[in-house]
């Protein structure tokens, strides 16, 4: 009976993605009629140049970024929760986001203190430098985690190592903040709040191409993740190479998190909340269902959060992390309480 509902659920979620995508293009400080948005997207009609600039230079890149970022973080969160068998595991637990933050802190805070001019003020080249620094920082931590994973057998120990690496990165960032001027610290704090609007111009297409390639690749791990749910001993008896499967899962989750963090900053709660939401909606632990479900629900929820952050009446846009936390935290609380209630009833 449950499987019969799956097509309807996927269609409903797909429809929500389309609706939220179009709403992100039409709603904002300047309202643009849906018919005009349609004409601009397809290059027909004679719409106002101002509207065309708003769509192509601001709203479309931001909306596309939200869609792919939400999907990538949700898959990463699902992989982490399955690998560590921990409902509170998420993309940030292995220290990847902290590594990216450290890379950005070195660029924003040190460049102003040492060079006198912060790279965060250097326009396009400054943004590019920040993205590259975030990727380098995230990848450096990822390689450390992979080296540890090859030497450590227990997932719990690996998780603790990741958390400790995050603490070390946070401590270094705190020292850098102490010796930096207020303006550079403010620039770093704003970056840390997360935003889907930082990706613009050619960057959005690079980001979209990377995520379009990485997300389908992560689907090849569905069988391994299903076997991991059975326990290591049983999975090993069924022919799963535990060590290789664990390394591939870590690699997939880390790369997705690193790319999203580099372009959007550290986005919280999506990777933690969406897998729980999908398990509740589909009432399944099968990753053949959860992987595509998390991809679609993550994209839809990120578009919704971006829409709330840009609602008319707010000057500029609210920090996306404030919105994701306000929406994601109640979801996790509700799902966990509901799960506990069902366990007591049984």
Q: What is the average pLDDT across 55-83?
A: 92
* Terminal Cα distance for the chain, rounded: 20
Average pLDDT, the chain: 84
What number of other Cβ atoms are within 10 A of residue 177's Cβ? 15
Q: What is the average pLDDT across 44-67?
A: 87
Q: Which two tokens stand for residue 78?
A: 């699902």
DSSP characters over 28-95: SSS---HHHHHHHHHT-S---HHHHHHIIIIIHHHHHHHHHHHHHHHHHHHHHHHHHT-TT--TTTTS
**Span 209-266, pLDDT tens digits:** 999 999 999 999 999 999 988 887 888 888 888 888 888 998 898 889 888 988 888 8
Domain count across the chain = 1
Q: Quote the pLDDT of residue 157.
A: 80
Q: Check pLDDT > 60 for residue 31.
A: yes
**Span 166-187, pLDDT tens digits:** 889 889 988 888 888 888 888 8
219 lies in which domain range?
Answer: 2-345
Distance CA 223, CA 297 (A): 21
Q: Quote the pLDDT of residue 216.
A: 93
For residue 330, count CB atoms less than 10 angstroms from its CB and return exposed for 0-12, middle for 13-18, buried for 19 or more: exposed
Is 169 within 8 Å of 103 (Cβ atoms)? no
Sign of CA dihedral 303, 324, 84, 293: negative
Q: What is the CATH number of the domain that holds 299?
A: 1.10.3470.10
Cα Rg, the chain, nearest whole Å: 21
Q: Quote the pLDDT of residue 196.
A: 87
Distance CA 110, CA 306 (A): 31
What number of other Cβ atoms are within 10 A of residue 202's Cβ? 10
Is 149 within 8 Å of 77 (Cβ atoms)? no
Q: At CA 272, angle to CA 212 and CA 67, rounded to 5?
A: 30
Q: Check pLDDT > 70 for residue 75.
A: yes
Q: Which percentage of the chain shows pLDDT scores above 90?
A: 25
Tally of CA atoms within 13 A in the half-sphere of 295 that contains its CB: 17
Q: Check pLDDT > 70 for residue 114.
A: no
- Closest by CA to 159, choosing from 76, 73, 89, 79, is 89
Q: Cβ contacts of residue 33 below 8 Å, gap of 6+? A: 26
Sign of CA dihedral 62, 63, 69, 74: positive
Q: Check pLDDT > 80 for residue 119.
A: no
Of the pLDDT bands very low, low, confident and very high (cuts 50, 70, 90), residue 66 is very high
Q: Which of 84-88, 257-261, 263-267, 322-326 has the least mean pLDDT?
A: 84-88
Q: Which two tokens stand for residue 301?
A: 């929820």
């Amino acid at each position: 009976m449950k499987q019969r509902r799956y097509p309807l659920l996927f269609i409903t979620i797909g429809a929500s993605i389309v609706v939220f995508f179009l709403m992100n293009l039409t709603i904002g400080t300047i309202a643009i009629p849906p018919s005009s948005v349609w004409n601009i997207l397809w290059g027909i009609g004679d719409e106002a140049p101002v509207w065309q600039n708003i769509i192509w230079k601001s709203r479309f890149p931001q909306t596309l970024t939200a869609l792919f970022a939400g999907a990538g973080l949700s898959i990463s969160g699902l992989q982490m929760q399955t690998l560590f068998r921990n409902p509170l595991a998420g993309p940030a637990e292995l220290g990847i986001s902290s590594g990216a933050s450290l890379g950005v802190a070195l660029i924003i805070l040190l460049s102003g203190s040492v060079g006198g001019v912060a790279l965060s003020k250097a326009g396009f080249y400054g943004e590019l430098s920040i993205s590259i620094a975030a990727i380098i920082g995230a990848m450096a931590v990822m390689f450390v985690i992979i080296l540890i994973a090859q030497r450590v057998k227990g997932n719990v120990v690996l998780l603790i190592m990741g958390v400790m690496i995050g603490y070390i990165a946070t401590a270094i960032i705190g020292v850098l903040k102490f010796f930096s001027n207020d303006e550079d610290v403010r620039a770093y704090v704003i970056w840390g709040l997360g935003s889907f609007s930082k990706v613009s111009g050619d960057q959005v297409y690079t980001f979209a191409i990377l995520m379009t390639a990485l997300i389908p690749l992560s689907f090849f791990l569905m069988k391994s993740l299903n076997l991991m749910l059975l326990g290591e001993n049983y999975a090993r008896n069924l022919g799963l190479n535990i060590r290789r499967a664990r390394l591939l899962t870590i690699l997939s989750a880390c790369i997705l998190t690193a790319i999203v963090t580099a372009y959007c900053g550290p986005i919280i709660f999506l990777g933690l909340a969406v897998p729980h939401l999908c398990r509740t909606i589909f009432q399944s632990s099968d990753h053949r269902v959860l992987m595509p479900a998390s991809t679609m629900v993550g994209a839809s929820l990120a578009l919704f959060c971006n829409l709330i952050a840009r609602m008319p009446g707010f000057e500029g846009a609210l920090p996306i992390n404030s919105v994701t936390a306000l929406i994601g935290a109640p979801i996790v609380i509700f799902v966990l309480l509901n799960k506990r209630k069902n366990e007591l009833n049984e």
